[in-house]
């Protein structure tokens, strides 16, 4: 009688345990065959339904090899617990169910702070399930994944707690046999809790597990488990060694494409010394890990208590302040182990010195990426966009909106440094660890979260992590009706403040969030509006306007919706998507309406400042408004950036540098801010520094258009016409290309381009004037400059550059130019 592989369907003789074709573990000959019928759940457990006439389903927590796990409310005991619904193909085997029942009798006796309590094995309508303690927190696997690798002190602390839980279980005669990071929860208090002892095998219950059946997860299995031999507590110690290895290196010792491949490595391959992966691991900790991973169980530690004692000794030598996660070597988890000969180890010392000298020279020559500027305070937090877990993945706008609300609210806490949304949202869809994000944003803590919307129900989970070691400072889940989104945000903000207070803020207390509406429909429309506004582009901003208008229809006193309209119209005017005469008055009207509702809105004053100098050309009033905006919200990066650009246009370069530096501190990875921070350099003639910084921006994103445009501008005015023309061709900037041709003596080609652009109105009058001034045709230049002034209803923005635009340098002493400067308010 043969055995069909459940994966590739290949027939195998009944004497083998693994498929000869794909390496998949085969079911035992006497085991029940897996069919499509058996793989179908007995019933779908959805939110709000009641299972077994007792357990109300709150949410699905996950799924694994045994089945799905749910958070439920025990309606009889009025208590939240976890319920694992066993897969039908497993539950159909009476021997398996009997084994679970016998093991649970002993597992229920384990009462320890580092073990999740097991309750009962139940059955209803043919479905079998296990109930257990529900633990709020995060499993260790996710913890490691977020952190990349744990700080040594954190890893040792977690491993010690696992040892304590194992010691108690082993004392009672229970071996886990499937110990892995997924089965270790880190609860809200930071304690490690071992899960799933309900499927462990009792040391005293001989014969329960059928011979030849392999139980466990391949990456964490002991060699004796791979061979389906008798196991005892030393098998758990091997698995603990794998977990320790993964915590301090970020990878497991053995990986492969199939369970068979991984199992063979556990049986016969020596693990790479973890210290070769992470040089910061203490020698004695590497020794402990490798002893846990001995193939021969007689050579391993014989009890979890022995391991704990070793870890205690190691912990005494770890500085209590050590939390820095070292940079990992570029070693992939699937890299082949190579044996290095002694000759390669003893490299002559002069070669090392020579290489070091070369490295230093190269480091000095190559452009260096700037670190984030130092923080002005000691307290720092980045709020990342929340992940959308909704079934349709169609609530990204709400995820972003909740995060933005928290950013804006927490920004009001004195001495709390929060990077702007532009920077924190730049990591969306990037698989970066908390450490990597924290280092790039120069913060000490990171807030993450998820949002799940199902009908009118809203589930939000948020957690606050320490950057140095990835350790969770706080986490919470909320299961509410949608209209309770405001109270959830309040609670998250307050809990964050409390968590930071414990660590940093002393006795500080403050009301954090100001809600501008309590209409859920208005709030949802508002978040949709900002979602599209952030996307930029004419069509997206027009959609944003529609949503903000609809939000105002729902709640006419919704100040933030009026503010969103104001910001949308300023963008439409700045980018030339709407005539100035239409865009800026609408922006002014919306900003003033927002201030009528709340006269403390910093953002609204910033909008009014931009309208004042861009459209009204009232530079003095604009400066008053910029200063007012910043005084109301010192950490508002946009106000610092826009004020810096305003100061640049007035040639107040030192002040501009100061404001733009502050904007960079608040928005450290915003490509827009980093690019525009070069304005004071190149408009003051320091093209070398401007080019250097723009190249650093393009290292971050080689295709970032604004940085490329500014770089082409710098090349042109520094006399690098070949480089400028090449870059303008790449960008499709024909106006810039015409200027290059003119400087290179190709006047005919330049004029041909300019004539075509001017007839099609694809170039603004200011740039046309600049072109003619550059080639010495001043009368023609002034003709177009006057046309630009007359055209202010369409484009008032371009003439705000009159004082700093290099193309006008040859005519600044001309009375006609002085008269134009007066018209624009730049020469009082």
| 641 domain-assigned | no
Contacting residues for 364 by C-beta, under 8 A, at least 6 apart: none
Between these two residues, 148 and 295, which has the higher pLDDT value?
295
What value does the mean pLDDT take over residues 18-37?
48
Q: Is the pLDDT of residue 204 over 80?
A: no
| 290 domain-assigned | yes
**H or E element, residue 176:** none
DSSP 8-state class, residue 413: S
Structural contact between residues 464 and 434, judged by C-beta atoms closer than 8 angstroms: no
Structural contact between residues 718 and 806, judged by C-beta atoms closer than 8 angstroms: no
pLDDT band at 717 (very low <50, low <70, confident <90, very high): very high
Please tell me whether residues 311 and 168 are part of one structural domain.
yes
Helix (H, G, I), strand (E, B) or coil at 360: helix
pLDDT value for 648: 96
Please tell me whether residues 108 and 147 are part of one structural domain.
no
pLDDT band at 496 (very low <50, low <70, confident <90, very high): confident
| 737 domain-assigned | no
Q: Is the pLDDT of residue 65 over 90?
A: no
Please tell me whether residues 18 and 86 are part of one structural domain.
no
pLDDT band at 13 (very low <50, low <70, confident <90, very high): low
| 608 domain-assigned | no
- Note the pLDDT tens digit of each residue in 265-295: 998 899 999 999 998 899 999 999 999 999 9
pLDDT value for 234: 94
Q: Of 133, 162, 189, at which residue does a domain stop?
A: 133
Structural contact between residues 495 and 472, judged by C-beta atoms closer than 8 angstroms: no
Q: Is the pLDDT of residue 40 over 80?
A: no
Q: Is the pLDDT of residue 337 over 60?
A: no
Domain of 95, in residue numbers: 39-133
**H or E element, residue 680:** helix 679-683
Number of domains making up the chain: 4
pLDDT value for 492: 80
Please tell me whether residues 123 and 150 are part of one structural domain.
no
For the ranges 228-232, 510-514, 739-743, the maximum mean pLDDT occurs at: 739-743
Long-range contacts of 538-541 (CB under 8 A, 24+ apart): 538/572, 538/575, 538/577, 541/568, 541/571, 541/572, 541/577
Q: Is the pLDDT of residue 328 over 60?
A: no
Q: Of 483, 515, 547, at which residue does a domain stop?
A: 515
**Alpha carbons 208 and 195: distance in angstroms, whole number:** 21
User: Average pLDDT, whole number, for the chain?
Assistant: 81
**Alpha carbons 131 and 354: distance in angstroms, whole number:** 64
Structural contact between residues 148 and 433, judged by C-beta atoms closer than 8 angstroms: yes
Lowest mean pLDDT among 49-63, 346-360, 509-523: 346-360
Q: In the chain, pLDDT over 70 holds for what percent of residues? A: 83
pLDDT value for 352: 41
**Alpha carbons 606 and 627: distance in angstroms, whole number:** 9
Contacting residues for 470 by C-beta, under 8 A, at least 6 apart: 143, 146, 147, 148, 150, 151, 154, 325, 433, 434, 435
pLDDT band at 156 (very low <50, low <70, confident <90, very high): very high
| 506 domain-assigned | yes
**Alpha carbons 355 and 348: distance in angstroms, whole number:** 11
| 193 domain-assigned | yes
**Alpha carbons 133 and 123: distance in angstroms, whole number:** 18
Considering only CA atoms, which of 744, 742, 704, 753 is closest in space to residue 722? 744
Please tell me whether residues 183 and 112 are part of one structural domain.
no
CATH number at residue 104: 3.30.200.20
Q: In the chain, pLDDT over 90 holds for what percent of residues? A: 39
**Alpha carbons 634 and 416: distance in angstroms, whole number:** 11
**Alpha carbons 12 and 10: distance in angstroms, whole number:** 6
CB burial class (10 A; 0-12, 13-18, 19+) of residue 248?
buried
Please tell me whether residues 68 and 108 are part of one structural domain.
yes
pLDDT value for 560: 93
Query: What secondary structure does DSSP assign to 252-292, as a single string?
Result: -S---SSHHHHHHHHHH-PPPPHHHH-TTS-HHHHHHHHHH
- Note the pLDDT tens digit of each residue in 585-642: 999 999 999 999 999 899 999 999 999 999 999 999 999 999 999 998 888 999 999 9
Please tell me whether residues 287 and 384 are part of one structural domain.
no
Q: Is the pLDDT of residue 86 over 50?
A: yes
Please tell me whether residues 151 and 46 are part of one structural domain.
no
Please tell me whether residues 209 and 98 are part of one structural domain.
no
**Alpha carbons 1 and 684: distance in angstroms, whole number:** 87
Q: Where are the alpha helices (DSSP H) in 26-126?
A: 36-39, 88-91, 94-107
What value does the mean pLDDT take over residues 397-410?
83
pLDDT band at 790 (very low <50, low <70, confident <90, very high): confident
Half-sphere exposure of 483 (CA within 13 A, CB side): 2
pLDDT value for 595: 94
Reported residue count of the chain is 828
Helix (H, G, I), strand (E, B) or coil at 669: coil
What value does the mean pLDDT take over residues 330-346?
34
Q: Is the pLDDT of residue 411 over 90?
A: no
What value does the mean pLDDT take over residues 418-434?
81
Q: Is the pLDDT of residue 506 over 70?
A: no
Catalytic residue among 74, 93, 139, 178: 178
795 is catalytic: no
Give counts: helices (H), strands (E), the chain.
35, 19
- Note the pLDDT tens digit of each residue in 463-485: 888 888 777 777 788 888 887 87
| 648 domain-assigned | no
Q: Is the pLDDT of residue 31 over 50?
A: no
Six token digits for residue 297? 């169980």
Please tell me whether residues 432 and 483 are part of one structural domain.
yes
pLDDT band at 198 (very low <50, low <70, confident <90, very high): low
pLDDT value for 20: 53
Contacting residues for 556 by C-beta, under 8 A, at least 6 apart: none
Half-sphere exposure of 586 (CA within 13 A, CB side): 17
Lowest mean pLDDT among 2-11, 327-336, 730-739: 327-336
**H or E element, residue 86:** strand 79-86
Helix (H, G, I), strand (E, B) or coil at 62: strand
pLDDT value for 378: 62
CATH number at residue 253: 1.10.510.10
**Strand-pair category, 50-51 with 55-63:** antiparallel
**Alpha carbons 377 and 720: distance in angstroms, whole number:** 42
What value does the mean pLDDT take over residues 95-107?
77
**Alpha carbons 696 and 444: distance in angstroms, whole number:** 25
- Helices 602-614 and 580-597, interaxial angle, to 10°? 150
Query: What secondary structure does DSSP assign to 495-506, as a single string?
Result: HHHHHHIIIIIT
Q: Of 489, 515, 541, at which residue does a domain stop?
A: 515
Q: Where are the alpha helices (DSSP H) in 136-201?
A: 140-147, 152-171
Structural contact between residues 380 and 418, judged by C-beta atoms closer than 8 angstroms: yes
Structural contact between residues 116 and 132, judged by C-beta atoms closer than 8 angstroms: yes
Residue carrying structure tokens 């260790």: 140
| 635 domain-assigned | no
Structural contact between residues 672 and 422, judged by C-beta atoms closer than 8 angstroms: yes
Please tell me whether residues 407 and 486 are part of one structural domain.
yes
Helix (H, G, I), strand (E, B) or coil at 736: helix
What value does the mean pLDDT take over residues 754-767?
84
pLDDT value for 6: 65
pLDDT value for 216: 56
Please tell me whether residues 160 and 109 are part of one structural domain.
no
**Alpha carbons 246 and 414: distance in angstroms, whole number:** 39
pLDDT band at 7 (very low <50, low <70, confident <90, very high): low
Q: Is the pLDDT of residue 338 over 70?
A: no
DSSP 8-state class, residue 204: S
Q: In the chain, what is the straight-line distance between the N-terminal and C-terminal CA atoms, in Å?
A: 101
Q: What is the pTM of this model?
A: 0.57
pLDDT value for 325: 33
């Amino acid at each position: 009688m043969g055995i069909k592989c459940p994966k590739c369907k290949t027939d195998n003789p009944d004497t083998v345990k693994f498929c000869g074709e794909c390496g998949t573990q085969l079911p035992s000959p006497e085991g029940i065959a897996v069919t499509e019928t058996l793989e179908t759940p007995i019933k779908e457990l959805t939110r709000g339904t009641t299972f077994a006439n007792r357990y109300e389903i709150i949410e699905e927590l996950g799924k694994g090899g045994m089945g799905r796990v749910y958070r439920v409310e025990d309606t009889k005991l009025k208590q939240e617990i976890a319920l694992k619904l066993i897969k039908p193909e497993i539950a159909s085997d009476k021997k398996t169910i009997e084994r679970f029942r016998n093991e649970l009798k002993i597992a229920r006796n384990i009462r320890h702070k580092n073990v999740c309590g097991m309750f009962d094995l139940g059955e209803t309508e043919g479905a079998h399930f296990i109930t257990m303690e529900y633990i709020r927190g995060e499993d260790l696997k996710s913890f490691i994944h977020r952190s990349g690798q744990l700080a040594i002190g954190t890893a040792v602390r977690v491993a010690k707690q696992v040892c304590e839980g194992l010691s108690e279980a082993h004392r009672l005669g229970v071996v886990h046999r499937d110990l892995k990071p997924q089965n270790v929860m880190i609860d809200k208090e930071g304690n490690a809790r071992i899960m799933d002892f309900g499927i462990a095998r009792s040391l005293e219950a001989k014969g329960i597990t059928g011979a030849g059946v392999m139980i466990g997860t391949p990456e964490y299995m002991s060699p004796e488990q791979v061979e389906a031999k008798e196991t005892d507590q030393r098998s758990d110690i091997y698995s603990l060694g794998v977990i320790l290895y993964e915590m301090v290196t970020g990878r497991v010792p053995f990986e492969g494409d199939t369970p068979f491949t991984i199992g063979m490595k556990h049986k016969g391959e020596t693990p790479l010394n973890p210290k070769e992966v992470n040089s910061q691991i203490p020698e004695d900790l590497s020794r402990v890990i490798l002893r846990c991973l001995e193939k021969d169980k007689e050579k391993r530690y014989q009890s979890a208590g022995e391991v704990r004692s070793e870890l205690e000794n190691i912990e005494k030598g770890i500085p209590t302040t050590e939390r820095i996660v070292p940079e990992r070597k570029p070693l992939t988890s699937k890299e082949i182990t190579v044996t290095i000969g002694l000759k390669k180890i003893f490299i002559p010392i002069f070669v090392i010195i020579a290489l070091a000298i070369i490295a230093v020279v190269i480091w000095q020559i190559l452009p260096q990426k700037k670190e984030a500027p130092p923080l002005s305070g000691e307290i720092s937090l980045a709020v990342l966009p929340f992940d959308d877990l909704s079934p349709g993945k169609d609530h990204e706008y709400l995820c972003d909106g909740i995060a933005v609300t928290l950013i804006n609210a927490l920004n009001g806490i004195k001495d709390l440094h929060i990077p702007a949304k532009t920077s924190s949202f730049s990591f969306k869809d990037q698989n970066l660890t908390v450490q990597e994000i924290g280092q790039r944003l120069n913060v000490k803590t990171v807030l993450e979260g998820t949002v799940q919307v199902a009908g009118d129900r809203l589930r939000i989970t948020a957690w606050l992590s320490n950057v140095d070691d990835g350790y969770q400072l706080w986490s919470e889940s909320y299961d509410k009706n949608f209209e309770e989104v405001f109270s959830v945000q309040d609670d998250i903000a307050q809990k964050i403040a409390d968590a930071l207070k414990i660590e940093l803020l002393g006795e500080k207390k403050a009301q954090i969030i100001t809600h501008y509406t309590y209409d859920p429909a208005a709030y949802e429309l508002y978040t949709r509006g900002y979602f599209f506004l952030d996307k930029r582009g004419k069509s997206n901003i027009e959609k944003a306007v529609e949503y903000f208008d609809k939000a105002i229809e729902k709640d006419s006193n919704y100040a933030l919706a009026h503010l969103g309209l104001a910001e949308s119209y300023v963008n439409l005017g700045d980018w030339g998507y709407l005539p100035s005469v239409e865009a800026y008055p609408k922006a002014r009207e919306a900003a003033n309406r927002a201030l009528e509702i709340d006269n403390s809105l910093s953002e609204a004053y910033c909008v009014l400042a931009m309208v004042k100098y861009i459209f009204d050309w009232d530079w003095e009033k604009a400066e008053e408004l910029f200063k007012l905006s910043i005084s109301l919200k010192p950490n508002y990066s946009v106000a610092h950036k826009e004020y810096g650009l305003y100061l640049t246009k007035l040639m107040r370069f030192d002040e501009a540098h100061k404001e733009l530096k502050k904007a960079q501190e608040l928005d450290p990875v915003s490509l827009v801010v980093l690019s525009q921070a070069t304005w004071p350099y190149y408009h003051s003639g320091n093209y070398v520094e401007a080019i250097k910084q723009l190249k650093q921006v393009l290292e971050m994103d080689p295709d970032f258009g604004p940085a490329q445009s500014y770089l082409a501008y710098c090349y042109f005015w520094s006399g690098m016409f070949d480089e400028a023309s090449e870059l303008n061709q790449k960008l499709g900037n024909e106006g810039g290309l015409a200027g290059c041709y003119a400087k290179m003596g190709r006047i005919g080609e330049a004029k041909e381009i300019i004539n075509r652009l001017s007839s099609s109105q694809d170039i603004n009058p200011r740039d046309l004037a600049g072109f003619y001034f550059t080639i010495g045709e001043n009368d023609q230049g002034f003709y177009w400059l006057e046309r630009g002034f007359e055209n202010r209803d369409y484009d008032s923005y371009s003439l705000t550059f009159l004082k700093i635009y290099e193309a006008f340098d040859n005519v600044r002493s001309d009375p006609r130019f002085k008269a134009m400067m007066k018209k624009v308010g730049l020469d009082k």
